[in-house]
A and B are shown apart, each in its own frame.
Chain A
Amino acid sequence: MSTTTGSFQQRSDVAIQDKKLRANFLSAMDGLMEKRDLAFDDKTQLEALRILGAQVRQNALVKLPELLVELETKLTQRGVQVHWAQTPDEAVDIIQSITLKEKAQKIIKGKSMVSEEIHLNDKMEQVGVTCLESDLGEYIVQLAKETPSHIVMPAIHKNTAEIADLLHEKTGIERKEDALYMTEQARQQLRKNFMEADIGLSGVNFAVAETGTLCLVENEGNGRLTTTVPKTHIAIMGIEKVVEKLEDTAPLLSLLTRSATGQPITTYFNMISGPRKENELDGPETVHLVLLDHGRTQMYQDDELLDTLRCIRCAACMNHCPVYTRIGGHAYGFTYPGPIGKILMPHLEGLDDTQSLPTASSLCGACAEVCPVKIPIPDLLVRLREEANHPNPQDSYIKGAGIKRHGMEPVLWSMWRWWHQRGTRYHIMTSMLTKLHFLQPSKLAPWTNKRTLPKMAKKSFHQQMKARTDRLKKGALR
């Protein structure tokens, strides 16, 4: 389901004209890129760490089925209730039935992109349960009735002045363009919510199979409160988030925080292993874990597409993406924006609904260069473009494969192939083109809307080389 209306084309055309939006993203992304660069000052070490990170993730994926079962066993032993959801609807049903059982009215939420993926807030609202976001960025986005525009910094599309306006208008606090003041005010409001909430809902960054531990990385302490204050805690994660051993989390954590915000480590790293035990003073009485598939096992069947599942959601790829920087997160129209969104959303929503995403890239490779787990994003974009033209969609692992196989485009490419497959045909074509160079149109929209066209040569390189070789031969004979 798209989170906004219109096509990608329309949304990005509008976004690109929005000067303020572009300025906000440009300065934010420049800052994040610089911070990451400083955090990884030793590039040799960075490369070694990336290889390790990728291996850890790949290893977990290779063993995914058994690790998930191990995780479930370990967690169940410690009293965590584990639920499996194949679709977003199933996940929502599970969470709704927990709320019903607990007679819950209010859910306080830590940051969770998977909850965005299943549009949880709206779905809970429909059954009369209020979800309150406690991550500062998410809180702002919720007040503005928007969706996150970035997977780590949900409100990055707003500058301080816009946030001051919003908080003043929605919460009645004095309007001050002062980040510290605004944070303090928001914290006051949030405290109350923590105390009143019946359920705390959080995401999961890594789930350790060996120990049955759910790890949560955060900076604001809201994650800690969400998972400890309310009497029930629901954690939700995509099935790919599992890792094999506790020691696997060390390189991943180091890569995650530095790639995301340039921090050597976050303020909080929560390790959750179950509900409150006897004699323990705090912690929730019940803990649930919802494991969501939502297209992930489809990807898992294909050894190239599977690489997508290595992602640790650090957002470095979007911070470094020249397209994301210019159009912002909302223009993508789906839960996950940026390069990771382009390779992930087609699996979650089907290529029929997302076919513009894989094409909206110059394949510059900035994303893959910084990805801490070395996901070959450009190759996967090309792969998804291939899937869109898949001649036998029934053999594909993606819903909507083959969506572009009809129409003019395949015919044109097949003609292109014919001209380029043999030197002789190619010579006929190029000599025609160079002979008629003066007929070259001066306008070729949309290229020439913003650029001039290069002039076609009167003699092609082939022709010049042929003449040269002939000349040299004659010279040699003489």
Chain B
Amino acid sequence: MPVHHFIPEEPLVESLTDALSTPLKLYPTKPEKVYVFGTCLVDLFYPEAGMSGVVLLEHAGVEVLFPQDQTCCGQPAYTSGYKEEARLVALAQMSIFGEDYPIVVPSGSCGGMMKTHYPRLFEGTEHHQQALDFSERIYELTDFLVHVCDLSLEDKGERTKIALHTSCSSRREMKTTDSGKLLLGQLKNVALVEPKKVTECCGFGGAFSVRHSEISSAMVKDKVMHLSNTKADAFLSSDCGCLMNIKGAAEKDKSALTLRRGEHLLSFVARRAGLIADGVEV
């Protein structure tokens, strides 16, 4: 028999059956308190979205805790391949949400980072179990309002037509595609229209939008086109990255005049429900 000199003697992995199936999504009963993880984009660019989330949670009868020491989930470093840097920042976040309350995040992408990527990030380290436990406590804020808080709202706004952009992370990592629809469904004067290619990425992808700017621009241009074609009055997204990207492109794109209005889903909902006006709590 010839020598198979390049075939290793021993296979290195066990079967990965468990890792292959998608776990069932389970929701807790409505808790007394929750932590809010604000995310760095909400912090610096969309504080109103964070505030709206807080107000909506309280409106649903849940007390909100906001640890001031929180910073960023670590995603920018993680997706850029700087695992060690991401790990150190993630570890800092994991250590400040001490009580066993759920942690709700007004962004599918940061939520996705904490829920689905923290376990991978800490695999093989002493913090792996901590990361697994932590990730189980993470919820996307809209999803939490709809499925845990059972929030009910009264629509105080005029009739309007809205297109909703669902982000890839909320769709594929957080599996919360329906929550935005369900929440908006409570607003009787809001007609929701679905753009074509609704599942396609808007082209943000963090550093990708700068590193491969031509590809990213081509993607967001198409996204703006599909959203504009709905003739909606405005579009909403519950992800600040997508929002920044799509809104920015729509504002620059002369052909997308109708789409110049874009805002965070939570800001829109809180405003319509009369809980926030001009960015201030009512």
Contact = CB atoms under 8 A, between A and B. Distances in A.
Interface of A: 9, 12-13, 16, 47, 51, 54-55, 58-59, 61-65, 68-69, 72-73, 84, 86, 239, 293, 297, 300-303, 306, 322-323, 326-327, 358-366, 368-369, 374, 379, 382, 384-389, 391, 404, 409-410, 413-414, 416-417, 419-424, 426-427, 430, 433-434, 446-457, 459-462, 464-466, 468-469
B47 A451 contact: no
A461 B52 CA distance: 11
A293 B6 contact: yes
Given A303-B13, A362-B219, A447-B213, 16 more contacts: A68-B7, A84-B2, A323-B219, A359-B212, A363-B168, A366-B199, A368-B172, A385-B79, A389-B82, A420-B72, A424-B69, A447-B210, A450-B220, A452-B252, A456-B44, A459-B47
A10 to B, nearest CB: 10
A63 B14 CA distance: 10
A154 to B, nearest CB: 23
B118 interface: no
Contacts of B47: 457, 459-461, 464
A228 to B, nearest CB: 27
Given A16-B214, A16-B215, A451-B248, A366 B21 contact: no
A174 to B, nearest CB: 38
A450 B80 contact: no
Contacts of A421: 71, 88-89, 92
Contact of B201 (A301, A366, A414): A366
30 contacts: A68-B7, A84-B6, A239-B7, A297-B7, A303-B13, A322-B200, A358-B81, A362-B205, A363-B208, A364-B168, A365-B172, A366-B168, A366-B200, A379-B120, A382-B78, A386-B83, A410-B82, A416-B85, A421-B92, A423-B69, A446-B213, A450-B248, A451-B251, A452-B247, A452-B248, A452-B252, A454-B244, A457-B45, A461-B50, A468-B281
B70 A423 contact: yes
Contacts of B9: 65
A360 B208 contact: yes
Contacts of B17: 55, 58
B168 A359 contact: no
Contact of B79 (A382, A404, A417, A456): A382
Contacts of B214: 12-13, 16
Contact of B203 (A54, A362, A374): A362
A293 B6 CA distance: 8
Most buried by B among A387, A389, A459: A389
A416 B51 contact: no
Contacts, number: 247
B245 interface: yes
Interface residues of B, number: 88
Contact of B11 (A62, A326, A364, A416): A62
Contact of A364 (B54, B201, B211): B201
Given A322-B219, A364-B168, A433 B13 contact: no
Interface in B136-186: 168-169, 172-173
A417 B85 contact: yes
Contacts of B45: 454-457
A452 B252 CA distance: 6
A12 B130 CA distance: 42
Interface string B1-34: 1101111111111111100111000000000000
Contacts of A379: 120
B4 to A, nearest CB: 6
Interface in B62-76: 66-72, 74, 76
A64 B10 CA distance: 9
The 3 closest A-B pairs by CB, nearest first: A362-B205, A385-B81, A423-B69
